[in-house]
Amino acid sequence: MNLRRLALILVPYLWLMGFFLVPFLIVVKIALSDTAIAIPPYWPVLDLSAGWTGIKEFFSELDLENFIFLTEDSLYWKSYLSSLQIATISTFLTLLVGYPIAYAMAQAPDEWRPTLMMLVILPFWTSFLIRVYSWVGIIANEGLLNQFLLWTGLISEPLQIMNTPTAVYIGIVYTYLPFMILPIYATLEKMDGSLIEAAVDLGCSRGKAFWLVTLPLSRPGMIAGCFLVFIPALGEFVIPSLLGGSQTLMIGKVLWEEFFSNRDWPVAAAVAVVLLLLLVIPIVLFQRNQQKQEEAGR
């Protein structure tokens, strides 16, 4: 009866089906297959021309071998753990850097805000790859930072930042900072300024008022920002491979190596499936947070 509404609802679902669910099922299928020296490099391949028996045979060939393999080689779970650690620490660092920036933006005079917002978004105008790569020029042993520090005499030997976890943290914090700033800024900006005055009126110092009122009220923004940083950081591949060197273990890098260096598609697919399952937890929590925030805002 209401075709228009039905179509409106169907469109996003079809989109999800076509561009998320179907590819995901293909990845799951590859994860359940065996490696083969063939094109594509796995077995079995679904052969519909063989009819019903072909399909039955196809399914009987699928197994959990690759997932079991992931638990046997310590490289994988170590990479997962290391990724979790790097993502957690860099999310926290991004929060530490992003909050004061968002706060300053929200305090700035009205007429400055669009400009400040612009400055936050500006880096997106260049390629992410180029921006990360340019950090090499800054933090490398003969890079700008070390040259500067050597020149001031603060250090006598260049600092080894390149190819260490520190470089990865710098890269992640730098890259994902806008995703932290924007949601926090959004909550701070719509906060009623008279709340702080009320707190001060009731006996708080400015600092205490910030701690008791501003901070708790900006929590939804902080949570949203943390998820927006944590989720992509967990699977990050470009930053650890460009800045982290061989020392940094991250699951995104392992995935890439399995896929392109080892050409072991089934294991790579299994790694991806586990990563996705790991990400489902924070994504569900994130959705919950967003929903709660909407309800609180009536």
Closest distance to another protein from the beta carbon of 243 (Å): 39
Residue 213 within binding range of another protein, rule CB under 8 A: yes
Q: Given candidates 4, 192, 246, 260, which one binds another protein under the rule CB under 8 A? A: 192
CA distances from 272 to 27, 46, 76, 188, 276 (A): 8, 21, 11, 37, 6
Closest distance to another protein from the beta carbon of 99 (Å): 17
Residue 120 within binding range of another protein, rule CB under 8 A: no
Nearest CA to 34 out of 65, 70, 11 is that of 65
Q: Given candidates 208, 263, 288, 292, which one binds another protein under the rule CB under 8 A? A: 208
Contact flags string 50-89 toward another protein, x per CB under 8 A: ----------------------------------------
Closest distance to another protein from the beta carbon of 217 (Å): 6
Residue 190 within binding range of another protein, rule CB under 8 A: no
- What is the Cα–Cα distance from 250 to 90, expressed in whole angstroms? 13
Residue 109 within binding range of another protein, rule CB under 8 A: no
Nearest CA to 265 out of 35, 4, 13 is that of 35
Token reading at 16: 């999800």
Residue 216 within binding range of another protein, rule CB under 8 A: yes
Query: Which residue's entry shows tokens 């009122």?
Result: 213
Residue 284 within binding range of another protein, rule CB under 8 A: no
Residue 134 within binding range of another protein, rule CB under 8 A: no
Residue 111 within binding range of another protein, rule CB under 8 A: no
SS3 5: helix
Residue 222 within binding range of another protein, rule CB under 8 A: no
Element of type H or E holding 252: helix 251-256
Closest to another protein by CB, 111 or 192: 192
One-letter identity of residue 172: I
Residue 198 within binding range of another protein, rule CB under 8 A: yes
Q: Given candidates 62, 89, 93, 200, which one binds another protein under the rule CB under 8 A? A: 200
Stretch that binds another protein, among 47-55, 144-152, 181-189, 194-202 (CB under 8 A): 194-202
240 Cβ contact partners less than 8 Å away, ≥ 6 residues apart: 86, 168, 171, 248, 250, 252, 253
Burial of residue 287 (CB within 10 Å: 0-12, 13-18, 19+) is: exposed
Closest distance to another protein from the beta carbon of 190 (Å): 12
Relative to beta strand 34-35, strand 42-43 is antiparallel
Closest to another protein by CB, 62 or 212: 212
- What is the Cα–Cα distance from 96 to 229, expressed in whole angstroms? 13
Closest distance to another protein from the beta carbon of 112 (Å): 18
Closest to another protein by CB, 78 or 190: 190
Residue 150 within binding range of another protein, rule CB under 8 A: no
- What is the Cα–Cα distance from 45 to 54, expressed in whole angstroms? 10
Element of type H or E holding 139: helix 128-139
Question: Which residues are at the interface with another protein (CB under 8 A)?
Answer: 192, 194-195, 197-205, 208, 212-213, 216-217, 296, 298
